[in-house]
Structure 1
Amino acid sequence: MEDRITSVWAQQIIDCKCRPAVEVEIRTESGAIGLGAAPTGTSVGMHESFVLRDNDPSTYKGLSVHQAVNNAVSVIGPALIGMNVFDQRAIDEKMIALDGTPDKRRLGGNTIYSVSVAAFRAAAAALSTPLYKHIAGGDIRTVPVPCFNVINGGRYDGLTQAFNEFLIVPYGTDRVDSSIEMAVAVFQKLADVLTDYLGHKPQVASSYGYAAPSDDPETILALMQKAVDACGYTGRIAFALDCASSEMYNKATNTYLLKGKSVSSDELIAYARYLTETFPLVFIEDLLDENDWTGYVKAVRELDRTIVLGDDLTVTNQVLLKKAYQLRAVSGFVLKPNQVGTITEALDAYRFAEEHGMIAVPSGRSGGVVDDVVMDFSVGLQVPFQKNGAPRSGERIEKLNFLMRANARSPGCRLYDISPLLRF
């Protein structure tokens, strides 16, 4: 199958946090068009591909991406004209070679990724098929259980909640529409529960969940359980955590922040074990620092009631995933294609995980864009669950509508049954 690339065009757009992003459009001989844009995270691992910004303080506080746009049009574009849009690996390898750095620093990981997504979409468009069907190689049978970041940790006036994300996982149904309705009901009920607890309405946090009302993770999970129980969903909605502990790690003292105190890796693992014995936790992501390999090995041994996931540790990178597999440092990883910087590398990481019994959990980024390719990954790869963010803000709602549309357009499709994966 062949369809040659005829043009590569790019411009600066903004993401959901009004930060500049690169958007690329690729056109082919057949008239197919593919658009790709690179989202960015708030918690960015040190091993991720490089996000190229202009660092010009006079525009968007230094975050503009005009150089990245120019690289897409002037450097990458001419190299891709005439290439077969269906040869994703050749396209991605051409860009990696053009860049020539380990972290895509010269041309920008955000530049290369946006072009890679645009090519991927153009290939699906040339086949007149949704991208998720192109990935699946046909009809899908399941859509993933969406996981919602309802309470956001971080630094607030008067308290610091060391854990970054507190998630609900509405799994006790076989219909994605019901799963989403359950999550929305609990999210809305949680506002009342938090108002009662705080004595005033909860603040909206930067990732659109509610701002953490306490520095104690146990208190927050108990409030979440209260909202679940009040909605009548006890035993049908579980929880998950993204600790993002690299953000709260003190390299000098080799300690982590927890409930206002400094604790060791061992103490943090012991506390996580206590939480898994108290609450139904589907997974715990980034429990430790992105370089604490010894700690992760211990965490996998100790935390037998939950799935230990790597994100900053593994950054969707096959080399790091192999290391994690060999050391038994995680049971799965968070799949964020923009971390590694091309579609091909992200799919290689996914295939390695699948072949070695590791779970892949696709996730959007906090600085999301509408029409994020991660949704096509989630649905096309038919993974068990995915991370969606809070059910608030347009690009996050669009992800939910995407799941419902894909499900409705696929005869016999159902919500993935994650019960065999649960360890609580």
Structure 2
Amino acid sequence: MKLDDLRVRKIFDSRGEPTIEVVALDGARVSHRAAVPSGKSRGSAEAKVFSYHEAEQSIEALRKAMLGREYGSVHEVDELLLGIDTTDTKAILGGNITLAISVALSRALAAEQSRQLSEVLHEEFFAHVSGAVRPRIYSNVINGGEHAANNLAIQEYMLVAAPKISYAELTQELVALYRTLGEQLRTSRKLEALPVGDEAGYCVDFKNNEEPLKILSSLIEESSLSDRLSLALDAAASSFYHDGSYRFGGKTINAGEMVEVYKKFTTEIPRLISIEDPFAEDDAEGFAALLEALPNLSVVGDDLTVTNPKRIEGFAERACISGVIIKPNQVGTVSESCRALEIARQHKLTTIVSHRSGETDDPFIIELAKAGSADAVKIGAPRNERINKYNELIRLYDE
């Protein structure tokens, strides 16, 4: 595939914040585009996010290095990008720029072969992985923390749906459950309308951080979906970690006391199967203590691991995590995202390919999940801009 031109444009994410979209023109002048989301709760070791003005400068420099060349694989594209920006955090080019270029050119390569991107990525990076996996859906229906203007410290309360039926049917059931939850919250709080957070989950105030779990557990029990729904949390604990302690539930407590909080949650809410970032990103000992105390719980790294293959491997070997979030814009290229997914699989971690709070309509995370047979996808509430990811699941898996 010959790269004839490379352009960048300013677009806007689901929060109305500026982000970037890259357009690559192949030798036949056919355009292939990729848009990059952004997160509000970010790990300190994530790839750097450049502004549109900085992106223009990076693209101008990269045009000289990349245009007119032939590319035969995704690895070849990324090898060039990583040769120019050798920093772990893409501090020279910007991780959002390198990812957008990497995805756009990957799509150009797939189009040249008249194949789906997921097929091309599977063949190049995951050919040894046999058997199709239908990923579970992590659907964020109640928002707190940095994603919402309410009194919850915990950032996300999620329904975890097992795909025992088609994704079209499963999405319809999740939409119905989401609406039922909304009606219950609206009625109980005597509100005309319900506010929602960055990921379209409801964001009213609650008695405490456990109440949403109890409400969701009861909702599941009263529905016809009890055989295929579980619960998960994203604590995003770095947001309530200060000076070596956690400010949680009106108290200042240490990591050992946070372990006891999570143990209480899992005892009282047996459907709770997964907690993401239960401790701050620099509190690996807290992660390890929780995994030791609750070995059947999926203890998931996100800010801790930032989709970095070396960090994932290191924390897996230290028994800090049993699951990991894969967010391509944390690391900045397609090949590194695939490598992170593969390292996680080798260490028998639960793999969850995830969106960001500031999303676009780009479906790349679903294509990546299918290519790498991810265990789950985390894609927000089934409404507004988030529904695009549900629709892509239907397209790729139901047909």
| Normalised TM-score (structure 1) | 0.87
Structure 1 vs Structure 2 CA RMSD: 2.1
- Any idea what SS the aligned residue of 1:161 has? coil
> C-alpha displacement at 1:34, in angstroms?
2.2
Please tell me whether residue 45 in structure 1 is matched to residue 32 in structure 2. Answer: no
User: 40, 46, 53: which is aligned to 1:66?
Assistant: 53
User: 202, 213, 219: which is aligned to 2:194?
Assistant: 202
Alignment of structure 1 residues 351-390 onto 2, 5 Å: 351-390=342-381
Report sequence identity in percent. Answer: 28
* Partner Cα separation in structure 2 for residue 158 and residue 68 of structure 1: 31
Alignment of structure 1 residues 75-114 onto 2, 5 Å: 75-114=61-100
State how many pairs are aligned.
392
* Partner Cα separation in structure 2 for residue 345 and residue 203 of structure 1: 37
* Partner Cα separation in structure 1 for residue 381 and residue 163 of structure 2: 19
> C-alpha displacement at 1:93, in angstroms?
2.6
Alignment of structure 1 residues 173-322 onto 2, 5 Å: 173-200=164-191, 201-214=193-206, 216-250=208-242, 252=243, 254-279=244-269, 280-322=271-313
- 2:321 aligns with 330
- 2:134 aligns with 143
Moved more, 206-215 or 290-299: 206-215
Q: Which residue identity lines up with residue 303 of structure 1 in the other structure?
A: L
> C-alpha displacement at 1:98, in angstroms?
1.9
* Partner Cα separation in structure 2 for residue 226 and residue 235 of structure 1: 14
> C-alpha displacement at 1:264, in angstroms?
1.0
Contact kept, 8 Å, 1:52 with 1:108, in 2: the verdict is yes
- Any idea what SS the aligned residue of 1:404 has? helix
> C-alpha displacement at 1:136, in angstroms?
2.9
- 2:10 aligns with 12
> C-alpha displacement at 1:32, in angstroms?
5.0
- 1:419 aligns with none
Gaps of 5+ in 2: none
* Partner Cα separation in structure 1 for residue 95 and residue 219 of structure 2: 41
Q: Which residue identity lines up with residue 112 of structure 1 in the other structure?
A: T
Gaps of 5+ in 1: 54-64, 410-424
Residues 16-71 of structure 1 deviation map (CA, whole Å, 9 limit, x = unaligned): 11211121111222555321121101111101001112xxxxxxxxxxx1221231
Contact kept, 8 Å, 2:166 with 2:398, in 1: the verdict is no
Distance 1:243 1:158, change over 3 A: closer
* Partner Cα separation in structure 2 for residue 136 and residue 104 of structure 1: 25
- Any idea what SS the aligned residue of 1:160 has? coil
> C-alpha displacement at 1:310, in angstroms?
0.1
- Any idea what SS the aligned residue of 2:154 has? strand
Distance 1:161 1:120, change over 3 A: same
Contact kept, 8 Å, 1:363 with 1:374, in 2: the verdict is yes
> C-alpha displacement at 1:172, in angstroms?
6.7
Distance 1:305 1:231, change over 3 A: same
* Partner Cα separation in structure 1 for residue 251 and residue 151 of structure 2: 10
Contact kept, 8 Å, 1:266 with 1:295, in 2: the verdict is yes
* Partner Cα separation in structure 2 for residue 258 and residue 303 of structure 1: 20
- 2:25 aligns with 27
Residues 264-308 of structure 1 deviation map (CA, whole Å, 9 limit, x = unaligned): 111111111221222212311000000111111111111223211
